[in-house]
Structure 1
């Protein structure tokens, strides 16, 4: 497909909104950004532009079904929804946008999806993955924070805030929150996928991340056979792109530069 600066495309029966910054995927290496569990195209703000400027790569951002202006999903979401995104939706999306060389950059749920994809697909186009505030298994403190989000959504102003960005905030919130708070989700664990990843990894995490501890980093360092670089950022919580933007961009730019050199990729096709 010929990508405009923004628009919609159809994948797996859903209309997905997107933005494209910089050179198109058939012209230069592309960083494909996968948002967090309550994120969307709009909630990235101007961060995709900053990533494009810092790396020289094209940057493709989209909202998964149920988020932003994309079409809603049927609720409740199945507990393997991140596996479905990684194994069914993402491969079709990458083909649809005609990607030639890419780096996956995922935040939170998006990081889990990127890890599952990299551990499930032998994709010669993939040069590396950037995992920001990733979760590879559930932790009690993370579940507690998600329960607090439910209270904020039902009794405070979180719903009104999300309604600014999502055309169906209930669909977006419940699709994420109900799945994570399901008792069976305690068994969710994608550690096994890590051993099958064959590209370099950058993990960016805030030292004060309320959804995950450094145990998430430690399991990746222990299980992965590929290089794992870590940027553990003081003072940052679950959104390093907002809480420590300069350090986050510096880590992304440095990692991307190494991926380009090691693969012999050029920023300009």
Structure 2
């Protein structure tokens, strides 16, 4: 049956929440590490990590980024360089605390962008799976975030985020919308690191994604320095691992073979 473990590790005097799914039989000691999206958390992955662990026979590790879920809160808003900072500062510290050497990354949305940044810096990353990752800023990206901001600031909709983030919910929302809608972030792209990704990458994207067109996966797969595979899921929005879990999991399994 395998087992599930939970823990908190200390990074720069802050507690980071970790959850680990360990299958009964391991085919490899190389774990898959999940990086969540802008409103995400460990718990919001739902059953996906368990199924991923079962079907790949690998250890799966998910963590709440600082300020999210069950990790400690942040007081300051993230800088416009928060994606670089996760890759260059926070993730390496987490990797060291968990005594991880080689690993595989799976990131959703901005987590996909972070995974690409990490892989560009760290050759211990053997493979990357990006799901619905943004590669630059499109009009649909801005429009989607503006609509989400309007939704969560009306009535009691913020309670939807409080369910997962508690009293950090307003910070989580602000950390997303205020940074991504700022003029300083308008020219952001993956161009500064994408060619340094030399490990194989699987790029998954829904053709109905509310926050980015298929120009994103095309850009990523065309510009990485290593081998790439694309999966464009028809009729799928921003969360393929929930909307089309079977197709998403099958693609990941095949990629890891």
The Cα shift of 1:75 comes to: 2.7
Deviations 1:43-76 (A, max 9, x none): 1111100110111110000100111011111232
Q: What pairs with 1:114-153 in structure 2 (closer than 5 Å)?
A: 114-121=115-122, 123=123, 125-153=124-152
Q: Could you say which residue in structure 2 is the equivalent of 1:200?
A: 200
Deviations 1:55-111 (A, max 9, x none): 111000010011101111123221111110010011111121111331000001110
Taking the aligned partners of 1:13 and 1:179, their CA distance within structure 2 comes to: 25
Which structure 1 residue ranges, 4+ long, deviate > 4 Å from structure 2? Answer: none
Distance 1:51 1:156, change over 3 A: farther
Q: Could you say which residue in structure 1 is the equivalent of 2:234?
A: 234
Q: Could you say which residue in structure 1 is the equivalent of 2:63?
A: 62
Which structure's relative contact order is higher, taking Cα pairs within 8 Å and 6+ residues apart? 1
Residue correspondences, number:
252
Q: Could you say which residue in structure 2 is the equivalent of 1:264?
A: none
Taking the aligned partners of 2:237 and 2:227, their CA distance within structure 1 comes to: 24
Taking the aligned partners of 2:85 and 2:157, their CA distance within structure 1 comes to: 27
Q: Could you say which residue in structure 1 is the equivalent of 2:220?
A: 220
The Cα shift of 1:157 comes to: 4.6
When the two chains are superposed, the root-mean-square deviation of aligned CA atoms in Å is 1.8
Equivalent position SS for 1:7: strand
Taking the aligned partners of 1:45 and 1:157, their CA distance within structure 2 comes to: 23
Taking the aligned partners of 2:29 and 2:221, their CA distance within structure 1 comes to: 30
Q: Could you say which residue in structure 2 is the equivalent of 1:255?
A: 255
The Cα shift of 1:254 comes to: 0.8
Taking the aligned partners of 2:192 and 2:243, their CA distance within structure 1 comes to: 31
Distance 1:166 1:88, change over 3 A: same
Equivalent position SS for 1:5: strand
Contact 2:103 2:126 survives alignment (8 Å): yes
Contact 1:142 1:211 survives alignment (8 Å): yes
Taking the aligned partners of 2:225 and 2:159, their CA distance within structure 1 comes to: 44
Q: Could you say which residue in structure 2 is the equivalent of 1:164?
A: 163
Taking the aligned partners of 2:116 and 2:80, their CA distance within structure 1 comes to: 17
Equivalent position SS for 1:211: coil
The Cα shift of 1:224 comes to: 1.7
Equivalent position SS for 1:50: helix
Which runs of 5 or more residues in structure 2 are unaligned?
Answer: none
Equivalent position SS for 1:155: coil
The Cα shift of 1:204 comes to: 0.8
Q: Could you say which residue in structure 2 is the equivalent of 1:267?
A: none
Deviations 1:206-229 (A, max 9, x none): 110011111111212321221110
